[in-house]
Structure 1
Amino acid sequence: MATVKDHYDVVLSDVYSWMFGGFASGVERNIDFFDARGIRPLGSGAALDLGAGCGFQSIPLARLGFKVTAIDLSGPLLRELADHAGSLPIETVEGDLMHFDEYLTEKVELVVCMTDTLLHLPSKEAVSALFGKVAGTLEDGGTLILTFRDLSGEVTGLDRFIPVKSDEGTILTCFLEYGPETVTVHDLVHTKGQDGWTLKASWYEKCRLSKAWVEAQLKGAGFGRVDAAEDGGVVTVIAIK
């Protein structure tokens, strides 16, 4: 089994923007996401992007006026973020999001942890610990935004094979194996070159989290208001301290 960092560095970082429809598309999607929810800096303007990747969240937030600390394990994805950030107020940190507090000098107004980043943590206990640390880092009235796929249900048979995305030069396929607490995710990327097709493949584990479990953990961590909704298997949570 690969670590999350190794899995992204070896298999996914080169195709990450592509599998979301391209960098511009990913940024525009989150501009719309934040606009629809009225996300604007109202306090210090300090924001923390946990699992920032190539900047799909950080760049829209910086454009809205936030000063963003963007943390991710993947150096290649953070370099892609930096290439697109220009003069926007974004500081990138290559590191473990569980230790985000080591990179901050003040409390923050907003924390986002989106696009399945939460599922990359090693256990439910780690997820609960992260919620407690985030609650302690947010200003009074601060906001935590989560998005993740609800993997508490199980697909079987051929439904475990997912044709994620393909074009004339790249094919990304995913295969899932379900355990009691985790899903083993196998990613296979075929790319076409001058000498034919080549394959990169790796597998890692994601936590199986449900909307109800996450809501309960956030309330236990001290969030006074937790709004959660599910659409097409993707859970969106807005939690207010």
Structure 2
Amino acid sequence: MTTVQEHYAQVLADVYSWMFGGFEPAIRKNLEFFKQYNISPRESGVAIDLGAGCGFQSIPLAQIGFAVTAIDLEQKLLNELKENSGKSNIKTIQDDLINFDRYIDSKPELIVCMTDTILHLESKDRVNFLFQKVFSSLEDKGRFVITLRDLSHELSELERFITVKSDENMIFTCFLEYEPNTVKVHDIIYKKNGSSWKHKKSFYRKLRLSKQWVEKQLEDIGFSKIESSIDNGLITVVVTK
């Protein structure tokens, strides 16, 4: 079975910025997101970006004044982050996000885990273990931000075939295969090469987590304030220690 790390290395890393509509629009979108939730440095000024990828969260957080540690398994994406971050105060770490606490010298006031990253973990137990680590690591009144796709409701028949993005040179489609606790995401990317097309294909699994389940785990661990919403299938949860 292809692991998440292998899937990104073989298929997704090279097209990640493109499939989100380009680097700059993604940065602007997250600047607006952090502004909407009044996220700015107030105490330690330390932020941790779990599953940082190419920097869609890390760079805007640095722009608004945080000292950011960006953690991801895929070095290609971390290299892209470095290339686009200029002189921003961002430290990059190639490692499993679950090990984030090995790389912090002081308690952060913000930890983010966005854009489906939480769904890449192996099990609900692993998610809960991460939540506990986050709670223990944050300073008092520190915040934790999660965004994830709602895969708890099963699509059927042709709804499972999705065109992710396409242009004159590339077509990205996926097929979703539902299992009790996960979804097998089959990604196929066709890229134009002169007069012909070549393709890459691979699959990996994402967890099926509901908004209610995520909220319940965070509440049980001890987070005091939970703000959550769901918009067009995207769950956002912002909690305070």
Aligned AA for 1:160? R
Matched, 1:208 2:201: no
1:226-241 equivalences in 2 (<5 Å): 226-241=226-241
- Aligned equivalents of 1:10 and 1:106: distance in 2? 35
Q: Which residue does the alignment assign to 2:117?
A: 117
For each residue in 1:20-43, what CA deviation from the matched residue of structure 2 results, as whole angstroms up to 9, or x when unmatched?
100001111101111111111000
Structure 2: runs of 5 or more not aligned: none
Mapping of residues 49-198 of structure 1, within 5 Å: 49-194=49-194, 196-198=196-198
Give the partner amino acid of 1:20.
Answer: F
The reply on whether 1:218 has 2:223 as its aligned counterpart is no
Taking the aligned partners of 1:195 and 1:134, their CA distance within structure 2 comes to 50
Q: CA RMSD in A?
A: 0.7
Cα displacement string for residues 193-218 of structure 1 (whole angstroms, at most 9, x for unaligned residues) = 12511110100000000000000000
**Alignment-mate amino acid for residue 46 of structure 1:** V
Tell me the secondary structure at the aligned position of residue 139 of structure 2.
strand
For 1:4, the equivalent position in structure 2 comes to 4
> Quick one: distance in 2 between partners of 1:106 and 1:220?
25
Could you tell me how far apart the structure 1 residues matched to 2:188 and 2:154 are?
21
Distance in structure 2 (CA, Å) of the matches to 1:100 and 1:220: 22
In 1, Cα distance between equivalents of 2:195 and 2:128: 48
Shift of 1:148: 0.3
Q: Secondary structure at the match of 2:78?
A: helix
Q: TM-score, normalised by structure 2?
A: 0.99
Letter of the 1:127 partner, please give it.
V
1:153 is aligned with what amino acid? H
In 2: Cα distance, 1:239 partner to 1:147 partner: 12
Q: Structure 1 residue 16 and structure 2 residue 8: aligned?
A: no
Q: Deviation string for 1:164-188 (max 9, x for gaps)?
A: 1000000000100000000000000
CA distance in 1, matches of 2:50, 2:209: 18
In 2, the alpha carbon distance for the partners of 1:238 and 1:207 equals: 20
In structure 1, how many angstroms separate the alpha carbons of the residues matched to 2:7 and 2:124?
21
What secondary structure sits across from 1:13 in the alignment?
Answer: helix
Distance (Å, rounded) in 2 between the aligned partners of 1:89 and 1:71: 14
Instruction: Please give the secondary structure, in 2, of the residue aligned with 1:15.
Output: helix
Q: Give the distance between the partners of 1:92 and 1:2, measured in 2 at CA.
A: 25
Question: CA-to-partner distance for each residue in 1:136-161, whole Å, 9 max, x for gaps?
Answer: 00000000000001111000101000
Q: Classify the secondary structure of the residue corresponding to 1:43.
A: coil
Letter in 1 for 2:185: V
Please say if 1:40 is aligned against 2:40: yes
For residue 182 of structure 1, what is the amino acid of its counterpart?
A: T
SS at match of 1:146: strand
How many residue pairs get matched?
Answer: 241
Structure 1 runs of 4+ off > 4 angstroms?
A: none
- SS of residue paired to 1:77: helix
Shift of 1:106: 1.6
